Structure 1
Amino acid sequence: MGRRVVITGIGVLAPGGVGVKDFWSLLSEGRTATRGITFFDPSQFRSRVAAEIDFSPEAHGLTPQEIRRMDRAAQFVTVTTREALADSGLEAADLDPCRTGVTIGSAVGATMSLDQEYNVVSDGGRLDPVDHTYAVPHLYNHFVPSSFAAEVAWAVGAEGPTTVVSTGCTSGLDAVGHAVDLIREGSVDVMIAGATDAPISPITVACFDAIKATTSRNDDPEHASRPFDGTRNGFVLGEGSAVFVLEEREAALRRGAHVYAEIAGYASRCNAFHMTGLRPDGREMAEAIRMALHESRLAPEDIDYINAHGSGTKQNDRHETAAFKRSLGEHARRVPVSSIKSMVGHSLGAIGSIEIAASALAIENDLVPPTANLHTPDPECDLDYVPLTAREWRTDTVLTVGSGFGGFQSAMVLTTADRG
C-alpha cells in the first residue's frame, strides 16, 4: 500500500465543545449547542440562530499581540494546532522543519474582521470612499486567507509545503485529503492539517438569508438544526476549527504514538451543474465515495458508520441519501448514518475537519453520535439516521462526506490503525 497516513493528534474548538474531551462529551450525550445569535443584534435578519463558541483567546494563552493580529478564525486554528501537537506527544523542536507541512481549509477566511473593519473605515456605512487611515495595521492579513496557514507554520516551525485550501463547505475534508497525499508521495513526513471558519457576522447571515438556506426557526434555537427530519427548514450557521497531526504510519508506531485512525482513502468530485443546486440522484457524491473506497481497498460492506454532511436542507439531505444508496447498494440500509450538525451547526469550511475528528473519535470509542432533533423522519430519507441517542457500535471503518456550494463533493474513509 506504500506510505500510510495516520492521525496522532487532534485539536478541536466547536460550539459547546472547547477541546477534544468536551467536544466528544457533547456528541456522545446528544446535546445541542445552538442558540440565538449574541455576537450582534440579529433582529433585522430572517435567521437569528447560530452555534456560537464561548471562546476567550486570553484563556487559551494567546498574547495581546496575537489577538490584535489575528482574526477570530486564525485564533481558533492557532489554539487547535497547539492542542493537536500536544495531544500527539510531539513538540515543535521534535519536527524536521523541511519535512513538516501545513494545509488549512477555510471557506470564508477572515469574515468577522473584514466585516468589523469595513464598519470602522466606512464609519458605519456613511463614508464613500472609506477612510483607510482608521483600519488596523494588520488588515492585509485579513484579506488573504493564506495568513491562516502562515500562523500555523510559525507556531510549529514548519518549512515544508504550506497552503490554504478553499473549496467552500468541503474545505476541511479537502485540506486533510491534500495533506495525506503529500505524506504518501514522500514530500513530507508530518502534516499539520485541518480547517477553521468564524463566519457568524452580519454579512454572512445576510447572504444565507437571501437564498433562504438557513433556518427561520428562531423561537426554538436548541432544536432548530434538524437534519433528515421532515420538519427541517434550513441549516444553522456555526463556527469552529479542528486540526490534526498526520504522520507516516510506520514512523508513528516506531515512536510509540497513540494512533486514533488511519486515513485510508479520499476523493473529491464536482457536479459542474449549479452554484447552489444539487442533482437529486447524488451521482457526484456517489462517485467520490466509490473512489475513496477504491483507494482504501475496501468494499461497501466494510463501512461501519457514515458521518453524513447532513446540513438540514431538504435538497442536501435527499441528495445525500440517494448518494449513499447509489454507492453502497443494499449496505446503505444496514449502516448507521448521523449528522453532528444537528448539535454543532454548520461551520462552513471548518465542519469537514470537525467531522473527521468526530469520525476518528467514533472509531476510538466504538460509539456512533446521534442525529439530534430527529423526531419526524422524512419519508424520502429512509436510512438509519441514529435519532436522538448515541449508539454503541463496533466502528472500525467510517465514511465521512461533505457537500458544498459550487458543486464540490468529497468523501474520506477512516479505519482502525491496526488494519492489515
Structure 2
Amino acid sequence: MNDPERVVVTGIAVRSGLGGDFQTLIHGLEIGEFAPVKPFFPNEIISKAVGLPFNPPYVFDAFSRKSIPPEGKNTGPGDRILGMLEPIIDEALAQANLGVEDLEHGRARIYIAGVGIQPEILNFFSFIARNDQEDLRQNKGIRQCHYKYYSQKAIARSLAKNYHLTRPPVSVYSASCSSLAALYLAQSAIASGRSGIAIVVTWQEVTLYDLLFLGGLNALARTASHPFGSGGEGVVLGAGAAAIVLENSSRGRQRKMSDLVEIRGFSTSQSGGLSQGGHSFSPDFRVIGKTISKALEHAKCRPEEVSVVLPHGNGLRSSDKAEALAIRKVWGNHPVSVSSYKSQLGYTLAASGLIDIAILSEALLAGRLLAFRTKGQLDGHLGLCFHADAPPQRLKTGTAVKIGIGIEGSVAACVLSVPSE
C-alpha cells in the first residue's frame, strides 16, 4: 500500500465581521478589535412578537447582504449566496497561484459546508392567507418562497459549471462542525490520491431561523458572547465565509509555493447530541479527548509538541467546560496555550471551524499567536492557559490543534504543522 499523500493548505480567503478580506481580519485581531454588534430587530416589540424574550445582538452582516448575484441572475437567495461564494473561491485560488484551467485538469473537487440556504421566516408570514392560484401567478414574493430557491443543489451545479469540474461538489451538513467535516473529507480525498486539488468553501448568515432555534434552546446572549467566561451567558451570532484550497505537497512544491501549512492529522467522532437524545450543548469530554488523541496519533505527534489549541469555545458553559476537561485530559501537566476569537468575531456556526483553521494557519506561518480579547472575566477554575488580552506570543513549535463540536454530537480534531522540509 502506498504512503498517503501529504496534504497542504495553499490558498485562504475569509470574510468576517472584522473585514472583507483575510488580512483585514488578521489586522483587526492584532489591534484587538471587536466586530460591530447591533440588535437584530428594530425594537423589542418585534422580538417578543416572534417569540424571543429579548432583542438578540448579532455581529452585523456587512458583506453577504451586499453580495451581488452572478451577472444576469437575480432569482432568489441561492443566486445571492453564489455571488458571495465565487469571489472568495477566486481569491483563495489566486493566493494558491491556481486558475480554473488547473481545476479542470487537476482532478479537483469542491466541498460546500454549511446549514443550507435558510428561508427568511418573516418573508412567509405575509403570505399565509394568500395561497390561491391567482396569488401564485401574480405575486412574485410568493413565487420566491418556493423550495427550489432554497436548494443548495443549484449552487453546486453552478459551481461545477463555472469552475469546469469533472465531478460535482459535495455538500456537508453537520451543524457547527460542518466546515471541519468538509475539510476532513477534502484532505482524505487528496491523501488517498483520489483528488489533486480540493476547495472547501463555507458561509454563515444570521437569520431569524438561527435566532429562533438557539433562542428555543436558551443559548443566546443578551449582551456579549464570552467563550470560557465565568458567566457563560450564551452566544452572539455572526456572519462569515471562508474558502481554503488544499493540494498534495508535491503539487505545491512544483509551483514553488513556500508558505505552506500541512494538515498533519485528523480525526472525527460522534457523541450524544440531538441525534441520539443527548443534551445538545453538553458534549462528552471523554469523546472530545479521545478524538484529539486520535488526531495526534494520526499525526505521529506528542501532546507536548503542540504550541496552541483553538477549541470550539462557543461561550456556553457546559460545552466550554467539556472542552476544558478534554484539553486537560490530553495535555495533563504539559501546559498548552488556548485561544478563542468568537468574542470578537461572533459565533459563525457552520463557518467557524474553517475561519479558525485560516487564523491558525496564519499564526503558524508567522510563528506567533495573537491574543484574543475579552469583555469579562475568564473562568480560572477551568485550568487552561488562555492567551488573552496580551501581546502576541512566540510559538515554541510549529504545530497546533483545532477542535470542532457540532450540536448534533459531531466532534473533530485537526493537527496543523509547518512542514519541516
Given the two structures, how large is their TM-score scaled by the length of structure 2?
0.88
Distance (Å, rounded) in 2 between the aligned partners of 1:81 and 1:39: 32
Deviation at residue 206 of structure 1 after TM alignment: 1.6
Counterparts in 2 of 1:380-395, with a 5 A limit? 380-394=381-395
2:289 pairs, out of 259, 275, 286, with 286
Q: Which residue of 1 aligns with 2:204?
A: 197
Larger Rg: 2
Listed as ranges, the matches of 1:368-379 within 5 Å are 368-373=369-374, 375-379=376-380
Is the aligned partner of 1:25 residue 2:31? no
Q: How does 1:12-411 map to 2 (within 5 A)?
A: 12-37=14-39, 43-44=46-47, 45=52, 46-55=54-63, 62-63=70-71, 65=73, 68=76, 70=78, 72-97=80-105, 99-107=107-115, 109-111=116-118, 114-115=119-120, 119=123, 123=126, 125-127=128-130, 132-133=136-137, 134=140, 135-136=142-143, 139-160=146-167, 162-198=169-205, 200-217=206-223, 224-272=224-272, 274-279=277-282, 282-331=285-334, 334-373=335-374, 375-394=376-395, 396-411=398-413
Q: Secondary structure at the match of 2:120?
A: helix
Matched residue pairs, number? 405
- The answer on whether the counterparts of 1:225 and 1:373 sit within 8 Å (CA) in structure 2 is no
Change (3 A) 1:203 1:57: closer
Residue 344 of structure 1 deviates from its aligned partner by: 0.7
Which SS does the other structure have where 1:196 is aligned?
Answer: strand
Deviation at residue 180 of structure 1 after TM alignment: 0.3
Between the aligned partners of 2:239 and 2:65, the Cα distance in structure 1 is 15
Distance 1:67 1:279 in 2: 41
CA apart distance, 1:340: 1.2
How many Å apart are 1:281 and its aligned residue?
Answer: 5.4
Post-superposition offset of 1:216: 1.1
Indicate how the Cα distance of structure 1 residues 92 and 31 shifts in structure 2: closer, same or farther if over 3 A, else same.
same
Structure 2 distance, partners of 1:59, 1:348, is 20
Please say if residues 308 and 338 of structure 1, whose CA atoms lie closer than 8 Å, have aligned partners that are also in contact. Answer: yes
Instruction: Give the Å deviation of 1:187.
Output: 1.0
Aligned-residue sequence identity (percent) comes to: 24
Deviation (angstroms), 1:413: 0.8
| Closer, same or farther: CA 229–138 of 1 in aligned 2, 3 Å | closer
Aligned-residue offset at 1:97:
4.5
Contact 1:88 1:258 (8 Å CA) reproduced: no
Any gaps of 5 or more consecutive residues in structure 2?
A: none
- Measured after TM superposition, the shift of residue 378 of structure 1 is 1.4
- For the 8 Å contact 2:242–2:355, the answer to whether it is kept is yes
* Residue identity opposite 2:210 in structure 1: T
Amino acid at match of 1:311: N
Q: CA deviation at 1:57?
A: 7.2
AA in 2 matched with 1:115: E
Higher alpha-carbon deviation: 27-36 or 173-182: 27-36
Letter in 2 for 1:316: S
2: CA distance, partners of 1:61 / 1:137: 15
Deviation at 1:214, TM superposition (A): 1.2
- In 1, are the aligned partners of 2:59 and 2:239 still within 8 Å (CA)? yes
Which of 232-241 and 49-58 deviates more? 49-58
Which has the higher mean CA deviation after the structures are superposed, 33-42 or 388-397? 33-42
Mapped partners of 2:70, 2:401: distance in 1: 35
Residues 4 and 193 in structure 2, CA contact (< 8 A), matched pair in contact too: no
Give distance in 1, aligned partners of 2:132 and 2:400.
52
- Listed as ranges, the gaps of 5+ residues in structure 1 are 218-223
Q: Structure 1 residues 279, 216: CA separation in 2 closer, same or farther (over 3 Å shift)?
A: closer
C-alpha change, 1:354 and 1:281, in structure 2 (3 Å) is: same
Please, what is the CA RMSD of the aligned residues?
Answer: 2.6
Alignment partners' CA distance in 2, 1:364 and 1:40: 43
The offset of 1:186, in angstroms, is: 1.1
**1:202 shift after superposition:** 1.8
**What code does the residue aligned with 2:9 have?**
I
